[in-house]
Structure formats: structure tokens, C-alpha cells
Structure 1
Amino acid sequence: MAFPSLQPFRAGLVAVAIFASFALTPRPASATEFASAGDRNRHIVSEAFDRWANGGGGFFDELLAEDVIWTIKGSSPSAGTFRGRAVFIDKAVRPFQSRLSTPVRPVRKQVWAEGEHVIVQWDGEGMARDGVPYRNSYAWILRMQSGKAAEVTAFLDLAPYDEVLRRVPEPVSGAPR
């Protein structure tokens, strides 16, 4: 009795082996998959800073939890604790931004993360409405929760910040900047 050729059977086995090798080969992690919570949080904060540096708006709305607790360390009148994103923006961000003709943008940054904590050391530059450049260095410690900063402790040289608030008058409400 004649046996059919084993050639088609062998070809089928080779095809199955090739398919299995591709299916079992580990694939590289995508940008949304991270080895740890720290890696994920570092990525979230780094990407938000990059968008801000490239001219994007809405940094604080994007990164801060609605009920964030933001503390500016120091002994000047600008230091203090702000409870809630809206309060922080109204009491600290807007009064400063209103005195600038060019908003502060990060020009250099370093980011470290461990678990839910992210530390960002960054240098920012902008232009006050009176034509005097504003430059400052910052260190922010963020505690992340569900992809948003729930608590932030900010360190900066408050002298240049306060100088802008003192030197440049706040624009009259409704007046063009």
C-alpha cells in the first residue's frame, strides 16, 4: 500500500511552528503600559510639562485634581496653602499671569518618580508686561492619585515672583492685556 507524501504534513508543521513563534514572542510595551506606578506617574507629569513647554494651555486643569491641595513654601505673602484647583488658579496663578505679556514656560526640567510621588525640578521663563524678563527655578513635589496631582508642595524663589506682583499693576478688569 502506498503512503501519501509527507511533504504537505511537514509544510503544515513548519507553518504552525512559525505562527507559534510569533504568538509567543513577547511584544514591547506600548506607551500606556508601565513597569510601575512611578513610571506611569512620571510619564503623565513629563508629558504635561512637555505640552506646556510647547505652548499648550490648560496645564493646571489637565494635571491637577479638582480638590488638589497646593502649598507654596516660604515666608512671603505669596506662600500658603490653597485648597482646590479653582482656588489655587484664582488666588495664585491668575494674579501672576495677568501681569505677564508672555506666559511662564518651562525651559528645562528633570523628573523623578517613586510610586505616587513625582518630583519636578524645572526652570521657567516669561516676560512681564513692563518688558522685564521673569526667570525662576522651581521644585514641585506632586502626590499623584488616579493620574492627577492630589497634593503639590512647591518651592521657588519667591523674591522674583513677588517682585512681579509688586512692580507690575494688575490690569483693570475688562481691559485688554
Structure 2
Amino acid sequence: MMIASITRLAAVALAAAALPAAAPVVAEAPSVPSATAARNKQIVTAAFDRWAASGSNIFEELLSADVVWTIEGSGPSAGRFEGREAFVARAVRPFVSRLSTPVRPVAKRIWADGDHVIANWEGEGVARDGAPYRNSYVWIFRMRDGKAVEVTAYLDLVPYDDVLRRVPAPVGRP
């Protein structure tokens, strides 16, 4: 009986040794959300809820006039936009002008930590050529006084850029 137990223990030890080394486990006290984080999460959540329900202008509502919005990636739409108007003019309007129904969030998860809020959301709309548009997004906001002053956006740029390439802009619009 003892030999069988030792054999099983040796087998477990050998299996464990074959695994990659893990970082030491450090116990952390559960964090209590700060009042700032709770307020920022509520502001972003409410803006997303209004956008999903009525198509509100989330960019006007949530972004400070001097926001710095960065679209991460390597496609033609990636880049840094300084100011809400520059972002809307160069990134939002050209895309929205090619849609017959606007993109709206259909699912979302929102987390906050101090001045930072992360929104992970799924968006759907329809392009003017009738093709559906679906994408997954992560927007990381840095908030100040109830407005986003910095945003880093992650999304699949392939379907986004495809709409811009495939659907012509309306005459007189970008």
C-alpha cells in the first residue's frame, strides 16, 4: 500500500515538474471601489445605455472637447486624434456616412478603477450596401470631471476599414 502511495506521489511530482514555473501566489485584500471609480463607471454606463436605447451622440456626451483619442492598430484608420471635433470629423463621420443604420452597442461590460473606465462592447449596424457590420471593441477612458480626456480604442480594423473601402461616401461628405 505504501509503495502505491509513493508511486502516485512521485507521478504527481513528475507531472508538476513538467509544468512551466508559475509566479508565486500573492494574496491580496479585495479592493473596495473608490467613489471616483463608481462615479466614472456610472457616467460611462449611463452614456452607453442611452446610446443603445436611442442612438444618442455618445461622443458629444462623453468626450471632453480636448480629448485625445487613439485607435490602436496598423490599418489606415489607426491613429491619434487630438480634440473631439478632429476625432469626429476624421474617424466618426466618414464611417457613419456609409451606414444605413448606426452602430449601437448590443452587449457591454464596464469596469472602473479610479479615473480609468474600460468598456468592452459588441456593436452592430448595417452598411448602406445592406451588409451587416459587427465588431468587438474595447475602449479605455481616462476620466476627468465627468468627461473622457483620453481614450484608447481597440477594435478589429478589418471590417471597419472594409466599410470605408467598400461603401462610397455620399456626395459632398467624406
For Structure 1 versus Structure 2, the TM-score category normalised by the shorter chain is 0.7 to 0.9
Name the structure 1 match of 2:163: 164
Task: Work out the CA distance in 2 between the residues paired with 1:109 and 1:66.
Answer: 25
- Provide Cα deviations, 1:100-120, integer angstroms capped at 9, x if missing partner: 000000000000000000000
Name the structure 2 match of 1:47: 46
Name the structure 2 match of 1:83: 82
The alpha carbon displacement at 1:56 in A equals 3.2
Task: Work out the CA distance in 2 between the residues paired with 1:80 and 1:35.
Answer: 32
| TM-score of the two chains, using structure 2 as the length reference | 0.79
1:103 aligns with 2:102: yes
Query: Which residues of structure 2 form unaligned runs of 5+?
Result: 1-32
Task: Work out the CA distance in 2 between the residues paired with 1:87 and 1:122.
Answer: 23
Name the structure 2 match of 1:71: 70
What is the 5 A alignment of 1:1-177? 36-173=35-172
How many pairs are equivalent? Answer: 141
Task: Work out the CA distance in 1 between the residues paired with 2:170 and 2:35.
Answer: 46
Q: Which runs of 4+ in 1 moved over 3 A?
A: none
| TM-score of the two chains, using structure 1 as the length reference | 0.78
The AA in structure 2 aligned to 1:53 is A
Name the structure 2 match of 1:13: none
The alpha carbon displacement at 1:57 in A equals 2.1
Answer whether contact 2:55 2:104 (CA < 8 A) is retained.
no
% same residue: 65
Bigger Rg over Cα: 1
The alpha carbon displacement at 1:58 in A equals 1.6
Answer whether contact 2:34 2:113 (CA < 8 A) is retained.
no
- Provide Cα deviations, 1:10-65, integer angstroms capped at 9, x if missing partner: xxxxxxxxxxxxxxxxxxxxxxxx96100000000000000000023221000000
The alpha carbon displacement at 1:140 in A equals 0.5
